[in-house]
Structure 1
Amino acid sequence: MDGRQYKRHKAEQGVAMVEFAITLPLLLLLLLAIGEFGRMLYQYNSLLQASRDASRFVAGKAWNRTLGKIDLTSDQQLVTRTKNVAVYGVPTEQPGSEVVSGLTTADVMVSPEPGTTDHVRVSITYTFSPVIGTVIPGFFGDPIPLAIPLQSTVVMRAL
């Protein structure tokens, strides 16, 4: 060692603190965006699994052997129970225990697959809204909407 020590100049004191203060909001915004994206993917995965479960449920019960095709019109309770399976995970209504919070039976559509006689379709439409709100105010124009529509559709052959 040559005995020299590094001395800071008076003009450089506090520069690191200013740089940290400038970058911290950007890093927090990035962290929040990553968290919200992960939450959106989790909710989409839950919707996809719910539509699979509901499709499997209705595919096992919708086949009419007499007609030789799917019949959803004769048993209206089957459609209601299928929607409950999609929203609550069970055929009976369980208020407050939705698979994805805010999902309702009105968001679920159960129908025969067009063009076939032995397939049934279950579609779930849900609007994801981030924790921070549904819009970012626009400073120089219209507000930017943050609500993202998620849709899960499963087609399954009747058993």
Structure 2
Amino acid sequence: MSACPFRSSKRGRLERGIAAIEFALVLSTLLVVFYGLVSFGAVLYAQQAISRAAEDGARAFTGVNDATDTANIALIKNIVYASLATSHVTPANAGSTTAQRKIWLQTNPNVSVTVGTSGLVTVSYPYKENPIIALPGVLAPSKLSGSAKFSM
């Protein structure tokens, strides 16, 4: 007499157990890789946004006649802050509108924008204090910075 195919054997139960262990190992590995990609992607996005803001400031330098005038420097800084505010690098408590995020950037003492007389615009942002995605266990850089220089 042959065994019934619907009857569960000891070997079938063991194979189901091994499949569950393999699934758990593969899933945990994929989750770690996904976690790393999201963390790295957030830092990379913030770095690109900061570099773009510095480039926007350097572009604004072209319309300035006197690079030592404080009004012109304030105008260039305003353009850099506006660029940063539209890129959503600020934390959620900074506000939901672009104007609120811009005010947060301008009043945060750790966000610095320097404009050199040679056309060099440098932006420094405290990323570790204000990450885009707060993920536990991520070794985020303490500061991100970008610089751009206007040249003809």
Which TM bucket (shorter chain)?
A: 0.5 to 0.7
Deviation at 1:123, TM superposition (A): 0.2
Question: Gapped runs of 5+ residues in structure 2?
Answer: 85-97
Corresponding residue SS for 2:44: helix
Question: Gapped runs of 5+ residues in structure 1?
Answer: 65-70, 113-118, 137-143
Correspondent of 1:132 among 106, 131, 134: 134
Given the superposition, is the C-alpha separation of residues 16 and 52 from structure 1 closer, same or farther in structure 2, using an over 3 Å criterion? same
Corresponding residue SS for 1:55: helix
The 5 Å alignment of 1:5-154 reads: 9=11, 10-61=13-64, 63-64=65-66, 71-72=67-68, 75-89=69-83, 95-98=99-102, 103-104=105-106, 106-112=111-117, 119-128=118-127, 129=131, 131-133=133-135, 136=137, 145-154=139-148
Bigger fraction of residues in helix: 2
Q: Which has the higher contact order (CA 8 A, sep 6+)?
A: 2
Deviation at 1:16, TM superposition (A): 0.9
Given the superposition, is the C-alpha separation of residues 130 and 30 from structure 1 closer, same or farther in structure 2, using an over 3 Å criterion? farther
Deviation at 1:81, TM superposition (A): 1.5
State the superposition RMSD in angstroms: 3.0
Q: Provide the TM-score with structure 1 as the length reference.
A: 0.62
Corresponding residue SS for 2:40: helix
Deviation at 1:78, TM superposition (A): 1.4
Corresponding residue SS for 1:122: strand
Q: Would you say the 8 A contact 2:119–2:151 is kept in 1?
A: yes
Equivalent residue letter for 2:24:
A
Bigger fraction of residues in strand: 1
Give the whole-Å Cα distance in 2 for the aligned partners of 1:76 and 1:124.
18
Give the whole-Å Cα distance in 2 for the aligned partners of 1:130 and 1:22.
29
Select between 36-45 and 25-34 the one with higher mean Cα deviation: 36-45
Q: What are the Cα deviations for residues 102-149 of structure 1, in whole angstroms up to 9, with x where unaligned?
A: 74474211112xxxxxx311001123336234x63xxxxxxx842342
Q: Would you say the 8 A contact 2:43–2:140 is kept in 1?
A: no
Give the whole-Å Cα distance in 2 for the aligned partners of 1:130 and 1:23.
28
Corresponding residue SS for 2:133: coil
Q: Provide the TM-score with structure 2 as the length reference.
A: 0.65
